[in-house]
Amino acid sequence: ILAQVPAFIVSRRTCRPLSLSPRSPLLTMGAACSQNRPHQPESAATAPAGKAPANASATRSGPSGAGKRGHTADQSGHFVLKHAGNVAEVYAIDSKKIGEGAFGSVCLGKHKASCATRAIKSVPKGNPQMNQLLQMEIATMKEMDHPHIVKLFDTFEDRKCVYFAMELCEGGELFDRITKAHNFSESSAALVMRQILQAVHYMQTGNLAHRDLKPENFLVLRKDPIEQDGNVLKLIDFGLAKHVAPGQFLKSRVGTAMYMAPQVLMRRYDTQCDMWSTGVIMYILLSGRPPFSGSPEDIMFDKIRNGRWKFEGSSWEQVSEDAKALVRTMLKMSPKVRATAEQALDSVWIKELAPRASDAKLDSAVMEGLRSFKVHNKLKKAALEIVAREMNDNDIKKLRETFEALDVNQDGKLDMAEVITGIEKSGLGGGGVDVQRIVAGLDVDGSGTVDYTEFLAATIDRKTSLTKEVLWSAFNIFDQNGDGKITQQELKNVLGSADVEKHVGAESIAQVMKEADSSGDGVIEFDEFVSLMTQTVHGNCADRSGLGGA
Question: What pLDDT, in 10s, does the model give residues 441-497?
Answer: 776 656 678 889 989 999 988 888 888 888 888 898 888 888 999 998 888 887 765
What pLDDT does residue 466 have?
85
Lowest mean pLDDT among 77-86, 202-211, 349-358, 414-423: 77-86
CA atoms within 13 A on the CB side of 549: 1
Write down the pTM of the prediction: 0.82
Instruction: Please indicate if the annotation marks 121 as binding a ligand.
Output: yes
Nearest to 48 by CA among 138, 148, 145: 138
Upstream peptide bond of 147 is cis (omega within 30 degrees of 0): no
What pLDDT does residue 494 have?
79
User: Does residue 236 carry a pLDDT above 50?
Assistant: yes
Decide if 87 contacts 160 (C-beta within 8 A). Answer: no
Taking residues 14-33, what's their average pLDDT? 35
What is the rounded CA–CA span in Å between residue 341 and residue 330? 9
Nearest to 499 by CA among 451, 542, 427: 451
What is the rounded CA–CA span in Å between residue 281 and residue 4? 17
What pLDDT does residue 36 have?
44
- Binned at pLDDT 50, 70 and 90, residue 248 comes out as very high
What pLDDT does residue 470 have?
84
What pLDDT does residue 505 have?
55
Task: Spell out the residues 6+ positions from residue 88 whose beta carbon is closer than 8 angstroms to its own.
Answer: none
CB atoms within 10 A of CB 85: 18
Lowest mean pLDDT among 16-30, 300-314, 410-424: 16-30
Lowest mean pLDDT among 197-211, 282-296, 321-335: 282-296
User: Does residue 137 carry a pLDDT above 90?
Assistant: no
What pLDDT does residue 262 have?
98
- The H or E element spanning position 96 is strand 91-101
What pLDDT does residue 359 have?
60
What pLDDT does residue 543 have?
39
- Binned at pLDDT 50, 70 and 90, residue 107 comes out as very high
Where are the extended beta strands (E) located within 399-446? 414-415
User: Does residue 550 carry a pLDDT above 60?
Assistant: no
Look at 376 and 16; give whichever has higher pLDDT. Answer: 376
What pLDDT does residue 13 have?
32
What is the rounded CA–CA span in Å between residue 299 and residue 302? 5
Q: Which one from 154, 212, 407, 517 is the annotated catalytic residue?
A: 212
Burial of 317 (0-12, 13-18, 19+ CB in 10 A): exposed
Parse the chain into domains and list their residue ranges.
1-355, 364-540
Lowest mean pLDDT among 178-192, 215-229, 351-365: 351-365
Q: What are the residue ranges of helices labelled H in 73-185? A: 128-143, 174-181
Decide if 286 contacts 325 (C-beta within 8 A). Answer: no
What pLDDT does residue 17 have?
32
- Binned at pLDDT 50, 70 and 90, residue 134 comes out as confident
Task: Spell out the residues 6+ positions from residue 466 whose beta carbon is closer than 8 angstroms to its own.
Answer: 387, 533, 534, 544, 545, 547
Topology at the third CATH level for domain 1-355: Transferase(Phosphotransferase); domain 1 (1.10.510)
| DSSP class per residue in 353-385 | HS---TT----HHHHHHHHHHTTS-HHHHHHHH
Gyration radius from the chain CA atoms: 24
Look up 212 and say whether it is catalytic: yes
What pLDDT does residue 61 have?
37
Burial of 281 (0-12, 13-18, 19+ CB in 10 A): buried
Taking residues 253-271, what's their average pLDDT? 97
**Domain covering 364-540 assigned CATH 1.10.238.10 in the classification:** yes
Question: Among the ranges 2-6, 211-215, 376-380, 400-404, which has the highest mean pLDDT value?
Answer: 211-215
What pLDDT does residue 79 have?
77
Burial of 110 (0-12, 13-18, 19+ CB in 10 A): middle
Buried b (16+ CB within 10 A) or exposed e, 378-395: bbbbbbbbbbbbbbebee
Taking residues 253-269, what's their average pLDDT? 97
- The H or E element spanning position 352 is helix 348-353
Q: To the nearest whole percent, how much of the chain has pLDDT over 70? A: 77
Answer left, alpha or beta for residue 61, where phi above 0 means left and psi between -120 and 50 means alpha.
beta
What pLDDT does residue 404 have?
92
Question: Among the ranges 96-105, 220-229, 263-272, which has the highest mean pLDDT value?
Answer: 263-272
Taking residues 88-106, what's their average pLDDT? 86
Taking residues 36-50, what's their average pLDDT? 41
- The H or E element spanning position 95 is strand 91-101
Taking residues 196-206, what's their average pLDDT? 98
Decide if 169 contacts 234 (C-beta within 8 A). Answer: yes
pLDDT digits (tens, 9 = 90+) for 508-548: 788 888 889 999 999 999 999 999 998 754 443 433 334 44
DSSP-derived 3-state class of residue 123: strand
| DSSP class per residue in 449-496 | EE-HHHHHHHHS-HHHH--HHHHHHHHHHH-TT-SSEE-HHHHHHHHS
Q: To the nearest whole percent, how much of the chain has pLDDT over 90? A: 43
What pLDDT does residue 213 have?
98
Taking residues 33-53, what's their average pLDDT? 40
What is the rounded CA–CA span in Å between residue 261 and residue 307? 9
- What are the percentages of helix, strand and coil residues in the chain, rounded to 5? 40, 15, 45
Q: First CA to last CA across the chain, in angstroms? A: 61
What is the rounded CA–CA span in Å between residue 111 and residue 390? 11
